Amino acid sequence: MSRKFIKIFIIFFIGSLLLSACTYSDISTTDTPKAVDGILDLTDWDWKENGVVNLNGQWEFYWQELFTPGDFKETTPIKERDLIILPRAWNKLLIDEEELTGEGYGTYRLRIYHPDDEILGIKIPRIFTSYNLWVNGELIASAGKVSNDNQQTIPQYLPQVKYIHPETDVIELVVQVANYRHRSGGILESIQMGSASEITEVRTRNLALELFLFGSLFIIGFYHLVLFLFRTKDRTTLYFGIYSIIIGLRTLLVGEIYFIHLFPNFNWEIAHKIQTLAYYLSVPLVLLFLRAAFPYDVSRKVNTFIQIIASSFGLLVLLMPVKVFTPFNPLYQFFSLMVFAYVLYIIMTTCYRKREGAYLIGIGLTTLVLTAINDILFLSTLLSDTNNHFLRSIITRGNLSSWGLLIFVFTQSLVVAKKFSKSFSSVELLSEQLKHANLNLEEKVKERTRALETSKNELKKAYEAVSRSEKSLQCLMQNISHDLRTPLSAIKGYVNAILDGVVNEPQSQNKYLKRVIGKTDHLNHMVQELLDLSQLQSQQLKLEFTEIPVKTLIENLSEKYELDMLNEKVQFKVYYPNKWINDANNIEALSVRVDIDKLERVFSNLLTNALKYTSDKDKVQISFDMTRDQKNLLVNVSDTGVGISQEDLPHIFDRFYMVSKARQANSSGLGLAIVKEIVKYHGGKVWAESELGKGSDFFFTLPIHS
């Protein structure tokens, strides 16, 4: 809130400074006495109190005569005089019923009755286009060369201030003017008279303001051109820069025409061309600027049309002498007024459409356009070729557009500053977002990489598993065919021996037949195992669970296997915690839900393995305990046999996996896979711990059912 207030205050402050600078009007007043019949009566005029007088009104005018003050000394009139109401061009003046053109020469005369004897200042504006000025018979100022001959006349614009000390009551002003180069001839702006100090002040103030304007516009112009060089995408700065420089230059060529003091011998034609070109080019530049600022609002066709017209007029100025192109000036002035009307229309549409910066640019451009219209009217033939046009009281100065431009410069700078600060803010915001996005992105990349890594590992594992099982399958086929073929060929051998009569004796025959039965049992066992496993794995097998106290289970198993193992070469023992014996109630309260047949299968597989991979004097034992969380019965079948390498250990529960070194004739690689499936069916887990040469421990759990 307070920021906004400060902003508005600063804008208001600078704006009002500029406004007060440009509304600062001349000291001269418009309701000063006017000359009548070639005489200006200032007897009641107080120079100090009433200020500067514009020497306007009826002057004596002698067309096609170049009189000097001496010629007026005669008592009889030298020629019948005419009267002309200044300021105006002599164009279109009726003399001897003939309308004058701008070309020609003449003499002006004015007598002034003035109050007292004082040093006075005369401020002479630019006069079209050469003059000599006498005061009380003394030639005090001239510009260019006055002559009745076209070739001899040299044009020059030279506004100047001169001081006089009239000792008589009447001041006589005689001005010779000649023009062959401009469309308009004569005294188009007011000659001013006042106390020396005030006239000096008017001149100094005008010069100071114009130089200030020139400097400001030039610097602003260059600044915008440099801005454009840094950012060629935005064309508004280019057009605005050129515009400011052009108008800055023009400021030096109009008004007090300071330029002529810098280059006194500068060619009048060229200076005039530069000044006119500055005006001609400024009109299409405004349009170009507007189009760059509001591309969607300014019609392309209108813009092209304006550029073509303006360029043609520009070429005319460049290629033709001043006398030729100045008659076209009214046309171009009319054209400019049309363009300005269009500009005002565009300003209204952009404000209505709420385009960015429309209000600021609108305020600046409207001021510029209005001041430019003022200047155009001031210099127009409408005013310069007529007596006392009512607009003369409104339009008193011809170089307001530079001030208008200064206001426009101010508003445009605000737009640029606003644009910059907006861009800075959005850059800040974007970089903040980018930073955030980068962090997020990094995090996401890391996350994805991790996920990819995991799935890669999983794929690798799966691939390994697939290739392993494929290998196992191959192995199994080989093993099965081998394992089937060996007993089958043995059976065939035994039966052939009997049939061929090699074995004749009934006793021997009996022995052979028993061997045949043994082999078929083994075959049967293998086929059964395969069948069981495939059923288990495809979940087709229905288990018959019965709840059985842990104590009973242990007793039954111990009894059964202790008996079975009696005949084996190894030492066998069943262990369970001492407290189970001492606290029979405790153990009796625990039970498991098992399919007893399948569970026996687990034990027999594990024990068969233990026996297979042990030798004499090794120990095999079964231990029962509870898992640490007391939720499962933990069974451990251990032996002190050959053990399993760390390499093989993770795979021994896989289907068909066999450690080749340990391969035995009655191995199928299915035993542990069946164990795993059965334990899984019971809701338990199975694992093994082993070291090569140090025996193996097989563990499995059974959930306690309480």
Q: In whole angstroms, how far apart are CA 342 and each of 292, 314, 345?
A: 16, 20, 5
Q: Which of 120, 290, 658, 679 is close enough to bind ligand ADP by CB under 6 A?
A: 658
Region binding ligand ADP by CB under 6 A among candidate stretches 55-63, 488-496, 593-601, 607-615: 607-615
> Rounded to whole angstroms, how far apart are CA atoms 410 and 404?
10
C-beta of 546: minimal distance to ligand ADP in Å? Answer: 26
Q: Enter the tokens of residue 306.
A: 């304006």
> Rounded to whole angstroms, how far apart are CA atoms 604 and 568?
14
Q: Which of 652, 678, 679, 686 is close enough to bind ligand ADP by CB under 6 A?
A: 652
Strand extents, DSSP E, 126-237: 131-135, 138-143, 160-164, 170-179, 186-187, 192-195
Q: Which of 350, 639, 701, 702 is close enough to bind ligand ADP by CB under 6 A?
A: 639
Helix H, strand E, coil C: the string for 389-453 is CHHHHCCCCCCCHHHHHHHHHHHHHHHHHHHHHHHHHHHHHHHHHHHHHHHHHHHHHHHHHHHHH
C-beta of 612: minimal distance to ligand ADP in Å? Answer: 6
For residue 327, cis peptide bond before it (omega within 30 degrees of 0): no
C-beta of 687: minimal distance to ligand ADP in Å? Answer: 13
Applying CB under 6 A, does 659 fall inside the site for ligand ADP? yes
Q: Which of 202, 253, 281, 644 is close enough to bind ligand ADP by CB under 6 A?
A: 644
| Nearer to ligand ADP among residue 213 and residue 536 (C-beta) | 536
User: What is the CB neighbour count within 10 angstroms for residue 394?
Assistant: 11
Secondary structure element (H or E) that encloses residue 573, with its range: strand 571-575
Partnered with residue 164 across adjacent β-strands are 120
| Nearer to ligand ADP among residue 236 and residue 479 (C-beta) | 479
Applying CB under 6 A, does 594 fall inside the site for ligand ADP? no
Applying CB under 6 A, does 112 fall inside the site for ligand ADP? no
Applying CB under 6 A, does 533 fall inside the site for ligand ADP? no
| Nearer to ligand ADP among residue 360 and residue 642 (C-beta) | 642
Q: Which of 342, 613, 624, 700 is close enough to bind ligand ADP by CB under 6 A?
A: 613
User: What is the CB neighbour count within 10 angstroms for residue 595?
Assistant: 17
> Rounded to whole angstroms, how far apart are CA atoms 697 and 635?
10
| Nearer to ligand ADP among residue 416 and residue 642 (C-beta) | 642
| Nearer to ligand ADP among residue 112 and residue 610 (C-beta) | 610
Q: Which of 662, 681, 687, 704 is close enough to bind ligand ADP by CB under 6 A?
A: 662
Applying CB under 6 A, does 649 fall inside the site for ligand ADP? no
Strands 104-113 and 170-179: antiparallel
| Nearer to ligand ADP among residue 511 and residue 525 (C-beta) | 525
Helix H, strand E, coil C: the string for 367-394 is HHHHHHHHHHHHHCHHHHCCCCCHHHHC
* Helix ranges, 500-549 (H): 506-537
Applying CB under 6 A, does 696 fall inside the site for ligand ADP? yes
Applying CB under 6 A, does 609 fall inside the site for ligand ADP? yes
| Nearer to ligand ADP among residue 92 and residue 612 (C-beta) | 612
C-beta of 495: minimal distance to ligand ADP in Å? Answer: 27
Applying CB under 6 A, does 667 fall inside the site for ligand ADP? yes
Strands 546-549 and 98-99: unpaired
For ligand ADP (CB under 6 A), the number of binding residues is 23
Q: Which of 127, 415, 553, 642 is close enough to bind ligand ADP by CB under 6 A?
A: 642
Strands 39-41 and 104-113: parallel
C-beta of 674: minimal distance to ligand ADP in Å? Answer: 8
| Nearer to ligand ADP among residue 361 and residue 652 (C-beta) | 652
* Residue 432 amino acid letter: E
Region binding ligand ADP by CB under 6 A among candidate stretches 93-101, 147-155, 440-448, 638-646: 638-646
User: What is the CB neighbour count within 10 angstroms for residue 596?
Assistant: 14
Specify the length of the chain in residues: 706
> Rounded to whole angstroms, how far apart are CA atoms 478 and 500?
31
Applying CB under 6 A, does 672 fall inside the site for ligand ADP? yes
Region binding ligand ADP by CB under 6 A among candidate stretches 77-85, 420-428, 583-591, 657-665: 657-665
Q: Which residues bind ligand ADP (CB under 6 A)?
A: 605, 609-610, 612-613, 639, 641-644, 652, 657-659, 662, 667-673, 696
